Each structure stands twice: as C-alpha cells, then as structure tokens.
Structure 1
C-alpha cells in the first residue's frame, strides 16, 4: 500500500478529480474544463468508483482547496506531472498544455488561499521547548556547563516526534508527570547555579610518576606483562595495558577515586615513543571507568614525540563520582602478546587473514613469527631472537589529573543571578531587581513589572519561613525555569496592531531556536529592541552572523541527525562471525560520517546536491581503511577527494545507511528503499497491511539471494502494488553489504565458499527509467534534483516553524526552491530564503 505522497497515490489523486465529472452533482465547477476532461481520459479507467487502485476512490476528492488534505493532494498532483513522474510508466502522457494549465490553476488557488489565511484572525501559537532546547537555553542563560549525570538531558524523558522531528508542537505535550521532571531538573540547576561559600572540593593536581612504581609495592599490580617494565625515568610499554592506579588519588580520600565530585577534570599524559622497525607508530589509549561498568576511552593518539623528549597531551572531560579508577592501554597493532599464551594473538591474526583470502599476508605473518622467536601457539619466545626494539614502544613519564575544574568561583551562574553581589537575609528589593533583570531574558520578551509578583511572592514566602537569601533565590530561579513563559515559545500575543505578524522578539526567538536550538543572544535581543527584525534585510544580516557562530553545531546535531536518521544506524549489530572487521570505532564512524558530511556542506557553502552524489567524502582513518582509501591518518574527520574508480560519494554510499538497512546478517532492500524515499524525497510509503508478512531469511540448504526472495514476496497480491514503487530504490543498493562494503557477489547469511551468486542491482524506477547498477541509479537520482530540493526545503521548513507544511505554504516553498537553485543550491541560500520570507514573520 502507498501513501498519497507516493507516485501511485499522486496519480490516483488525479483520477479522483476526473471522477467528479461522472458524479451527479459537479463539485469542480472552478476547475478548468479542459483539465477535467484530460484527467478523465487518462485516469478514470483505473481509478473510478468501481476500481480504485491504491485503495483510493476517485469520487472522494473535492475541488475545495480550503480542505487541507484535498489541497495537499492537488499540490502533489501538480508536482508529479511537472516532474514527469505521472502518469506512470506505460500510460499515455498528459498533453503539455494540460500540464501547464493544471499547474497554473493549482498555484493560483493556493496563492489566494495564502492571502485569505493571512487576513484571518489566528490564535496564539504555543510550542514547548524540547529537552535539547531546554538544556541549551539554561546553559546560555546562566553560563552553565553540565557534568556527567547532571544535564537536563540525563533526567528529562525523550520528546515525542512528528514529521520526523522533535520540534513539532503537536508532539510536545505536557502532563503532570513531565512537570514533575521539569521541577526536579530546575531545582537541581538552581542548587548548582547559586552556591554558598568556597567549593567543597577545591581544585587539586594528582600526579603519578611512573618511575616511582619501580620501587613501589604496586609494581606487581601495575605491570603484569613482559612488554611492560620500568626503565630509567618512567615505564616502557610495548603491548597490553597497565592496570588501575592506586597510587593516584584525591588528597584526603582513602579510596582510589580521583574524582571526589561531579565536575570537569583535566587528564595529561607525558609520553614519548619509538616506532617499530617497519615504521609503525605506537598509540596510546587512556580509559576511565564509567557508571555503567564499562571502560570509556577519553584520549587516543599516536605517540610521535621522541623517546628522550616526551611531550604532554591533554584532554578535559566531565567525570562523575561513580567513575572509579583509571587504566592506560597501548593499542598493539602488531598483535604481539607476551602473556601466558604468547603466540595466541599472532596466530589469530594469521588465521583471520587466511580466512579473508589474503594468503600472501598469512604466509608473511607466519614467516615473521618464526623469525622473531615464536614457536608453536603455546610456546615461549626465544630471548636471543626476540628483539623488542623491533616493535613500537612507548615511554610513559607521568600521568596527571587536575580537578574538579572551575571556570571561576563563585561560578558565572551565581554572579549572573546575584549581579550586585551578596545581600541581607530579607532584601526583597534586591530580589525584585534580580527578577526584573533575569525574567525578560529568560522569558525572551519585554515584560510588565507586575509579572514578577508571583515569583517574588514565592521568594518572600521562603524568607518568612526562615530560609537564607540564597535558598530563597534558588526557589525563585526554579520557579522561573518551570514557568510556561520559559517552557513555551508563544507567538502572536504581543502585537496589538496586527496579530498576524510576529513581534520583533518573537522573530528573534524563531531565528535562534531554528539555527541555535536556544534563546537569542545579546545581539538578537538588541536588534529586536530596535525593531530591526521585521526588515528582511536585517534578518539576512543576522543569519550571516549566526551561521558563523560555533552554536551552529547544534543545527547539525539536531536537524541533520534527525533528517538523516543517524539514530537508527546501529539498531542491529552486524554478526561478528561474518563481519570480523566491524568494531566499536567503526560503528562510531558510521554514525558520524553523514553528520560530518553535512557539517562540511554547511560550513564550506557546498551544493546540497552532493547528498545525491559527490566527488569527495568526509572520513577519518578508520573509515578510510574500511572504504579502501589510502593516505588518511588520524581520528579527526576531514574532506578527502575520491579516486576516479571509487564507488563512494553521496549519502547512499555511506556505510551507516547500509547497516541501518540490514538486520546484522543480511541486507534488507525494503528498509533501504524506505530510507531513500523518506530522507531524499520526503515520500514515505504506507505501513504494510497486517497480512503482508516479511521477506524471510534463507532456510537451511537454500541459497536464494535477497533479491530472489523479495521477488517471491512480491507475488503476494496485497504487497505487489506497493513493492513495485518501492523495491527498486533498495535493490539498487544491493552491492553494499551489511557493513557497507562493496561486493560483487552475495555474502552474509549462509553464503560461503565458491560459486556465490553475482549481485544484480539493476531495476526500473516507477517513472520508467532503467538502471543497471548503483552508478546508473545515482545518476538517475540527480535527474530528480528538483524533487530533492523540494523535499529538503519542506524538511527545513518543518524544523524552522515547528509545524507541518500546509497548503498555504506552497508559494513560500516554491520561492525557497527557486532561491536555492539561483544561489548554487547551498544550505545558506535555503536558510536565508526561509528566514527572509514573509511567512517567517507571520503566524
């Protein structure tokens, strides 16, 4: 089954119009007669009242474009025939003049609808801040950074979503349970924001000198392998990892927890190194224990400093009191093991490359093993042959932990609220000043002085009950952060002259929550106060400034994450016995790649059409190895030009997309097709009917490819219509396996050995265009660039406005697409067009 957004529905919607001619009472008197006659000729046979494909009856559509659903269908009809997608493949095309006449009529009616909507009275529009916006707003308002476990994101429940985003008002409901969460969070924020006296735990520096462990009773505890041993001035590490550091603890504490309280801590390792005989550079990984009992990596880097000139490498992280002890580990890429079974890891490496078919590498490793002194798998190395200088070595000088760190004391949050310093025990006049200063910023609008009275009354009640001034202000701050004025974005209640136009302060908030997921900054507040933001030129100037601000990373982390659905990439974990190269680092890179690609497109002002196909990727060394791309080193993501013969480029060549469209052992073309249609074309199919079933895995002894099983599935009558317009988008990606590697032959499931089936990634799109494989398919997607532009514009529009697209938005979206094409198809042009539109300053 398909939705009205799908091509089959669009065509069927056109049929509905034609059927009205047959109805006893004409309802399309305003529709041009030639359009009706042509639609009847091309559509009525398949979608009349007696036979309605896609479960649609043609006599159920009216010509009334004030009906939202009806108008949306007309928009899709117009767009589909303009793009040549309808009628479908095999049907006679509509005459050119009918296409033009239909488009002009629909667009004209929608313009009139837009004008009538702007003339009508509108109610105040409310949207609750989602938990990311709430956290960012508190952080910006009070200049607060949240340690692990103390961010509102750690406490508030996940938000609802609609239209693919957690910013749509209809999905952001509030109930008593959620308000309880908000009050607890606000109270915790207030307790941390306003402090009493000196910090309970002052900043301390704790250091472990590795040379000291040689004379310590801890030597046997810390150094457990032959590749770790004390050397003059420190510790030599070749493989494995040191154990916990009981010698490193916060002063005054008997346990070995170096983090006495939640906060930020600075970790510094001073180390040097010596590469192996083959030039391999040693690599350090610093881990700390996490409350979930896992060991979390907080620093990882190649040691390039010389052995005799070690240098410092530092990282600052949030750490909580449950963190526990530390561990340092060297990543030994040589697979050398000096434990109880010295040859085990080496033999595993030999076996792995052998199974992978690289027999030359397997023989090389086996020969090296013998030459370096190893015997059988359980043997002990020959000391005369084993030369440790051949291997990458690290010299550890010291480890230093500093914390908890404070930007200042009292913290900035304290001095922001108590802007005039300390006060007496019952200084209500000062409390009033605090509220008059704080509330207009927190509530993001000018306010009447009388609005402070309810919260001032709460503060007064606390003081009368014997609480300190600080405690009373904390209660007042918690009340401020749980007020509807803070929790909600309200539009349309502050402009008496024209309630269809937003106030300057409402425009400022709409801009800041669109691009920064937070409250306006001082410059936006100033522009609002000076009535500048009603002017589209001034909004354009502000957008240029905002795009250059580091807070634009929030747009990537919010909009891009949800649009590209990266949260779904790791739903299924690949079978490690089938995909041995898959690990946590690769999984992390899968999720980050599309986000870093998006960041590059945005920052460098590149064309959004690169999502359909590109001659570059944005990757790190781990992904480069996975993709077979040379000369990329380091964990940081960077733009890398693709070699001419690479299959990579664009969103659909990214490995994370293919893992999301898999179940861990096999690919799932239908899931991949749904992703393509949702993300690239904003055209999701309907959910399958209850009796549709699933494309089953192979049973024992069968060797049917996923494509063959999918074709069998299409024989189910209830599924055939939907799959014809869906499956090609997924089968085109079949050359990518579960972990996004390119394959010519079937793998995964029970496909092993020789004579494996060759992948067939050919197909025919619903518009009749045929492709022989992924490259052809990607080229056909580029031919649908207008469809992609419209889809992306709709996605950004929903995100910016916090509501679904309506028929009255059609003209605005058409202008956005036109503006974007004229300016090189950049996100900058798309964003500027939306923000400078009249719709952006209207309710």
Structure 2
C-alpha cells in the first residue's frame, strides 16, 4: 500500500514549505538599484544649448508656465537654478510620445529630424544615465513556475501528464502575460495544492510494490477510432455524433479478470455559453452490456467503473457506442472521455508478476543493508534532484533527502520504495523546484554580471519551450560551454517539437489568440442585430413571451401569432447554427495566428508582414468560414490569397476580430485599442470616469439611431475622450467590414475610410495595412521587440530597458526586419544574459 503523510506531518510540511517559498521569493528583491536617480543633475551646457530651446518651442505651451496637460509639467527645468533631471519614468513617457509621433501635437512646431535625435539621445544619456560600457539588465523577480510551465516541466522530468488546469487555480497576469514574476505570488492554499500535487505525481512515478497482478493498459491507438475521437491524447467521443468504436484483445488463461476505466464528462470551456444536449453511452465486453447510461453536461465529473468477470482463453472485444439524444444548439463542445482503461488479471496470486514499472525505475535489486540502501538512494536521488532543480545539486541537500528516505524505510510499515517516493515529494514541493532560482557569475568588471550557465539554460528553455532544460543544455552548463555553443543550441531548440509552446504561450497571450477558444460570441444575437428587418428584435422578444406560455392554453390568435413569428425567425435560427464558432473553428483561428508568427520567425520574414502580407494559414473549415475556395482537408497550411483579399495579416484574422468584439456586435474601440497596444505600441490613457456607454451614444441622435461611426463621434466631442479616440477609432472603424464572428459583411457600402492621428488618410483596409507596414514599420518592430523581451524576462519593461530594445530593433532593421533575428537578439541581449546583484550576494560557484 502507498504510504500517505499523516495529517500532522502534512501540516508541518505545508507550514515549512510555505515559509521557505515566501522567504525564497523575497530574495528576488536583493538587487542594487539602477545608477540613474532623480537627484542626478543634467549636463547644463548641453541642456541649455540643445534641449531647452526645443522644449520651449514645442512643449512649453502645454507643459510649462502652469500648464500640465496629461499630468506632465516641465516648470522645474526653468525655475530651478540647477535643475534636476526629474522622474525617469515620466521622461520615458515623453520618449514614447515622441517616438510614436504623438508629440509634439499637430498644432505645435514640428521638430527637425536632428532635433528629435538630439532630444532622444539626451533623454537616454542624461536622464536614464545609460552607460554603453555597463548597461543595466534590469531587475528580475525570482519567478514561480506558472501552470503551463509546471505541467511541461513535470512532463519532461517524469514523463507523465499532470493536468494543472484542473488541479491549480489560474495564474495572475501582468502586462498581458502569465509568466511575470511580480504577480506569480504563492498563497498557503496554493502551497498545499503543490504538496498534494507532489504526492500524487510521486505516487504515479515511484512503484510501491515488487509483485502485482498482471496489467494491460489500453490506449486510444488500440481502438479503431478516427482522429476526431482522440483529444489531448485521450479517447474522447463527441456528444453530438453517433459513434461506434472497437478494439480486439486476447487472453492466454481462462481466469478472473477486472476491467477498469473512468468515464469523464469533458468539455471545452466557453464563457457564458451553455449546452443542454444529452447522449447515451453503451460499453460492451464481447456481447455483454456493461454500461448503459445517459449523460448531460456535468463539467469534468468523473465516473469510475470496475467490472470483475471470468474471461475465457482466446480472442475478445471491447465496443463503445455513443448515441446523441438531442439536437440542441451547442456551445461547449461536450465529450465523453475514457481514461485509465486497464485489464487486470488473471487475479490469482499464482499469476503475480514483477511490474514493468518497478523494474524500469529500480534498475537493480534493492539492498538489504541500511548502508547499501543509502548508497542506492543517493544513486536515485542525485540525478533526479539535478534535473528538478535545473542545476548541479549540493551534497548537503542530497544527504538530507537520503536521510528523509531512510526515516521512512526504517519504520515498521515502511519500505525502500516509500522512502524514495517521499524524498521525491520533498523535491517537487521545494522552492528550488517551484521557483526559477538564478545566480550571477563572480565578476570584477561591473555590478551587472553574467548569469551563470545553469541560469542561462533555464532562461533559454522556459523562453522557447516553457519547460525545463533538457539533458544537452544541462550538460553544456555543467561544462561551462553553453555560451560558446549558444547559436547552435538556439537552432536545435527551434527544431524541437517543444518550440511549439513558444507560439502557444507567447503569441497566445501577446495577440490574445488563445482567448478565441473561450470568447463568448452569440451567432444568433449577431444575426438578429444585423438583420435587415428593423422590427426583428421586437419580434424575437414577443416570440419568447409566447413560447413561455407553451404549457398553457393559447388562444387560436396567439398560436397563429407565434407561428408567424417563428416563420420570420426560423431562417436566423438555421443560419446561426451554421456560422457559429465551434470548438474546431476556434482552434483553427488560434492556429492561424500562431502559424503566421511561426512562419515570420522561422523563415526570417519581415516582422511587418504581421500586418501586411498576401498569404495566411487555413484548413477547409476556416477557409469556408472566410469564404475562400479550394482549400480541402483538416490540416492547416499556408495559402496564397487572391488579389484584393482582406485576410492577409493579423487584421484579417478571425482570432483578433472575435476577441475584440462584444458577444452580439463589433467594437471598433476594442479593435483599435488592440492594435495600438499590441502591434504599434502607441500609448493610450485610461478612460475617464462617467463617460456614456456606446449604447447611450447610439441613442443620442434625437430620434434617429446613430451608426457606430456617428456614435464614436459623440465620444470624441469630449476633450477628455478625443485624444485617445482619435488614435483608436480610425483603426477600429477600418475593420467594420468584419462582423464579430470574423466573417466579411456582405454590405460593401460600409464606410471604413479614415485618417490616422499621424495624418495619413486611407479609403479601405488594404490601404491602411500598407500605411502601417511602411510608414510605421519602426513602431511595429519596437512593439514586438518589447513584447518578446517582456515574455523572455518575465517582467515589465522600464526606462532602463529602452537602450536594450533599441539595440534589438537596430539589429532587426539591419537584417531586413527578420523575425528570426529578433528572437536571437532578445536571447543575446544584456537583459537576458546578465542580472543585477548586490555586493556580497550569493554568486554561482561555477
């Protein structure tokens, strides 16, 4: 039997582990501060001769002499006899406004190119105190593994899949990413979940018995099941399609056997969506019906089954049938999932065998002597600890873990296997597994030393794979040869299948592509809102009133009214079922966006093709949704687009169009804000309080319902709203050719023309894409570089990161905008390769 921790031991372990994790996380704050300070003073000659005249001509009208638009004032620069630089964070805002063309405003005197260069240089050199010989890598908080990283790490460490989505709460996000160290806190409840998870994982990995009943595990590949019956490596049959699948197996003895499996009511989560469908499940062993049950949605409810039967020698079969019972509109993609299907037996002790799992884990006989067991325990624990801690273990820690195992096996009811298991639990619940600890190499050159090679290995693997370093990275780190082989390792890691995690996690969060799998879009409400019949919504409400009275007696007149209303509504009901965003379609939309970035990175294409290109990535289902012909099959592939197509680039992707919409209508504001934040890097402020909703603006037309364009114009009438809406609205309105489902609207008369805040005018979406990809290419490079660096470092970017981002962008520009060079430049940057540390702080011994 598996030994579980007693309640008192569990509480003690929990308290100790939480205290260790809390103190360990706090250690991330032991860093020196950047060299710049608000008390540093400017170079007076340079300021007086080159900077002050520029500020006076272009900035002081709004930001001096009592003016402080946007909360920015420069009064101190002229009032103080020896003016201080001021807040670097404020000047970082100034730099951002300057580079994105928002300042000076159109009605102010425009800066000459050399003036702009000088002002930018002064901010970086004098205000930020950037030292090219000793660049600041910034502060990185010691980071906890997030759910995705934990799951992948357990997979690569122990070859098992632990579903963190079910067992752990969602991670907090910062700057749009869930790997930001400052928000990855740990609570007592989460610490307890980590301890429980460690126990569960160790139970699965470490075999507890030396002899057991023979066991045969059936996998999805054993069944004659089509691809759509396999989900996440498990057998999963849809509620909505009739299916019959079978497998054949053979037994060599007529004996008692036990057939065990777990039926799980799985689903894809979609916010605010429901599903009232039911199905019947039948499970047969040969011709005997073992299960005949009806099921409806019951999120992730598990139903274990165990059947003991005498099975005769020879050939036998298992048959599973799923029979849909309803045809309701569905939105959660319900499935019947079969897990842990095993055939145990023969059950008699005469047939017991040494488990393959035991022989694979304990590769030699377990010694009888305590001394021999301690030696063997170290043989097992040291390499596991090395991989779990992602660096060479120290002897003291190995010794403590061996002594823990020894205390377990020396108990009257204990065993060597249980001791090893509990040592593994201790490792998996320890701070050095749960957190990514980093060390600096001792350096006499400056305070910003290189991180050691084990830390570099972890930064690389969690950036590119969202998982632990593999054996090759660890071995190179041990030999201090990782940096000299860095280019080759980057190439190797990008070829590994684990590199897919980079696109799923980085692109999925930066461009919100993974949100499309759960964003609530109601196809019926969309069609109802856009129907040409102006009275259709009132008809739907009236139909709902009459439908509620079905169980009562309606008058003949009421019945006729209901039938007439249904006749008007039936085409919308029918069409909504056809165009709805199914789970399959949502996955294809997500992959389209991931594959675009993947193509740009791996083929070294211009990052600006993110906005403007003549291709996209489709399968038959997504192509049909887009109205693109001659794409067949379920496989996603690169497709050249016809002349004039709107689908090239992110602005035509269903993922972006859906996640920036409301459930029943488009949102030009959300779409415009998305592009400003995630593609162009143009800053916007928070919306002012007490602004009217868009619905209120739409109703402000003195008896006439306003169009979206007219409603947004009402918002811009307010001075508080105009600055941000002038940036967002032209971008968002240019996408009004697409509905919330990401389909092109048939109405070609929609006005999508506009003028950008920087002055360029456009008549249609393709013109806008050309303008953005040409005139604003530098903004795109800077924004993408910032997002990628942020994801790589797991922290927000600050003013001292500006030179690092500039260097990355300069390298990208020198290589024709190459996405591949951007990835390499992030890895080779100062911020990725170095760290702050204080004098006397713990340094790497390597």
TM-score (norm 2): 0.69
Q: 2:99 aligns with which of 79, 101, 104?
A: 79
By how many angstroms is 1:664 displaced? 2.5
Say whether residues 1:443 and 2:418 are aligned partners: no
Contact 1:289 1:323 in 2 (8 A): no
Counterpart in the other structure of 1:52: 68
Q: 1:94 aligns with which of 111, 124, 129?
A: 111
Say whether residues 1:771 and 2:762 are aligned partners: yes
Say whether residues 1:202 and 2:149 are aligned partners: no
Pair 289,523 (structure 1): closer, same or farther in 2 beyond 3 Å: closer
Contact 2:173 2:183 in 1 (8 A): yes
Counterpart in the other structure of 1:785: 777
By how many angstroms is 1:413 displaced? 8.2
Counterpart in the other structure of 2:524: 576
1:450-500 residue CA offsets vs partner (Å, 9 max, x unmatched): 122332332222223332221221111111011111111122266477772
Equivalent-residue separation in structure 1 for 2:499 and 2:477 (angstroms): 20
Matches within 5 A, 1:381-780: 404=342, 418-420=362-364, 422-424=366-368, 427-465=373-411, 466-492=413-439, 495=442, 500-535=449-484, 538-569=485-516, 570-576=518-524, 578=527, 580=576, 581-584=579-582, 585-696=584-695, 702-743=704-745, 745=747, 758-780=749-771
Pair 689,495 (structure 1): closer, same or farther in 2 beyond 3 Å: same
- Which one has a larger percent helix, Structure 1 or Structure 2? 2
Pair 190,713 (structure 1): closer, same or farther in 2 beyond 3 Å: same
Contact 2:216 2:342 in 1 (8 A): yes
Contact 2:140 2:794 in 1 (8 A): no
Q: 1:159 aligns with which of 171, 174, 183?
A: 171
Counterpart in the other structure of 1:219: none
Aligned length: 655
Equivalent-residue separation in structure 2 for 1:630 and 1:113 (angstroms): 54
Query: Where in structure 2 are there 5+ consecutive unaligned residues?
Result: 1-37, 226-239, 270-274, 280-299, 306-318, 330-337, 345-352, 528-574, 836-846
Pair 789,482 (structure 1): closer, same or farther in 2 beyond 3 Å: same
Say which SS state the counterpart of residue 617 (structure 1) adopts.
strand
Say which SS state the counterpart of residue 59 (structure 2) adopts.
helix
1:568-627 residue CA offsets vs partner (Å, 9 max, x unmatched): 334232232516222413333333321232233334333322211110010111111122
Contact 1:142 1:412 in 2 (8 A): no
Contact 2:440 2:450 in 1 (8 A): no
Equivalent-residue separation in structure 2 for 1:685 and 1:199 (angstroms): 66
Contact 1:127 1:490 in 2 (8 A): yes
Equivalent-residue separation in structure 2 for 1:790 and 1:209 (angstroms): 51
Equivalent-residue separation in structure 1 for 2:659 and 2:581 (angstroms): 16
By how many angstroms is 1:647 displaced? 1.6
Say whether residues 1:42 and 2:44 are aligned partners: no
Pair 326,710 (structure 1): closer, same or farther in 2 beyond 3 Å: farther
Contact 2:172 2:178 in 1 (8 A): yes
Pair 614,531 (structure 1): closer, same or farther in 2 beyond 3 Å: same
Contact 1:424 1:469 in 2 (8 A): no
Q: 1:142 aligns with which of 154, 158, 165?
A: 158
Equivalent-residue separation in structure 2 for 1:619 and 1:420 (angstroms): 52
1:22-53 residue CA offsets vs partner (Å, 9 max, x unmatched): xxx99967635332112111221123353332
Pair 296,169 (structure 1): closer, same or farther in 2 beyond 3 Å: farther
By how many angstroms is 1:550 displaced? 0.9
Pair 582,135 (structure 1): closer, same or farther in 2 beyond 3 Å: same
Pair 461,45 (structure 1): closer, same or farther in 2 beyond 3 Å: same
Pair 693,818 (structure 1): closer, same or farther in 2 beyond 3 Å: same
Q: 1:811 aligns with which of 794, 803, 814?
A: 803
Pair 493,759 (structure 1): closer, same or farther in 2 beyond 3 Å: same
Mean Cα displacement is larger for which, 419-428 or 818-827? Answer: 419-428
Q: 1:840 aligns with which of 825, 832, 845?
A: 832
Pair 730,719 (structure 1): closer, same or farther in 2 beyond 3 Å: same
Counterpart in the other structure of 1:800: 792
1:392-450 residue CA offsets vs partner (Å, 9 max, x unmatched): xxxxxxxx9995599xx999986776454545485223212222222122111123211
Say which SS state the counterpart of residue 157 (structure 2) adopts.
helix
Say which SS state the counterpart of residue 437 (structure 2) adopts.
strand
Matches within 5 A, 1:15-30: none
1:196-248 residue CA offsets vs partner (Å, 9 max, x unmatched): 344775235999999xxxxxxxxxxxxxxxxxxxxxxxxxxxxx954778999
Say which SS state the counterpart of residue 450 (structure 2) adopts.
coil
Say which SS state the counterpart of residue 694 (structure 2) adopts.
coil
Say which SS state the counterpart of residue 696 (structure 1) adopts.
helix
1:167-210 residue CA offsets vs partner (Å, 9 max, x unmatched): 21101111211111111111111011112344775235999999
Say whether residues 1:69 and 2:89 are aligned partners: yes
Equivalent-residue separation in structure 1 for 2:792 and 2:45 (angstroms): 37
Pair 664,59 (structure 1): closer, same or farther in 2 beyond 3 Å: same
Pair 92,259 (structure 1): closer, same or farther in 2 beyond 3 Å: farther
Mean Cα displacement is larger for which, 759-768 or 288-297? Answer: 288-297
Say which SS state the counterpart of residue 706 (structure 2) adopts.
coil
Mean Cα displacement is larger for which, 444-453 or 678-687? Answer: 678-687
Equivalent-residue separation in structure 2 for 1:130 and 1:733 (angstroms): 35
Contact 1:670 1:727 in 2 (8 A): yes
Say which SS state the counterpart of residue 685 (structure 2) adopts.
coil
Query: Where in structure 1 are there 5+ consecutive unaligned residues?
Result: 1-19, 211-239, 264-287, 298-318, 331-338, 349-399, 747-757
1:775-815 residue CA offsets vs partner (Å, 9 max, x unmatched): 22111111201110011111111111112223333332222
Pair 201,521 (structure 1): closer, same or farther in 2 beyond 3 Å: same
Equivalent-residue separation in structure 2 for 1:839 and 1:96 (angstroms): 29
Equivalent-residue separation in structure 2 for 1:745 and 1:547 (angstroms): 44
Contact 2:604 2:821 in 1 (8 A): no
Pair 798,467 (structure 1): closer, same or farther in 2 beyond 3 Å: same
Counterpart in the other structure of 1:322: 303
Say which SS state the counterpart of residue 194 (structure 2) adopts.
helix
Counterpart in the other structure of 1:176: 188
Equivalent-residue separation in structure 1 for 2:62 and 2:261 (angstroms): 73
Contact 1:161 1:167 in 2 (8 A): yes
Counterpart in the other structure of 1:15: none
Say whether residues 1:829 and 2:821 are aligned partners: yes
1:603-657 residue CA offsets vs partner (Å, 9 max, x unmatched): 4333322211110010111111122211101111110000113121000111222
Say which SS state the counterpart of residue 623 (structure 2) adopts.
helix
Pair 460,320 (structure 1): closer, same or farther in 2 beyond 3 Å: farther
By how many angstroms is 1:562 displaced? 0.7
* RMSD (Å), alpha carbons: 4.2
By how many angstroms is 1:699 displaced? 5.9
By how many angstroms is 1:745 displaced? 3.2
Contact 1:194 1:470 in 2 (8 A): yes
Pair 201,418 (structure 1): closer, same or farther in 2 beyond 3 Å: closer
Contact 2:263 2:304 in 1 (8 A): no
Q: 1:108 aligns with which of 120, 125, 130?
A: 125
Counterpart in the other structure of 1:361: none
Equivalent-residue separation in structure 2 for 1:60 and 1:414 (angstroms): 74
Equivalent-residue separation in structure 1 for 2:391 and 2:608 (angstroms): 39
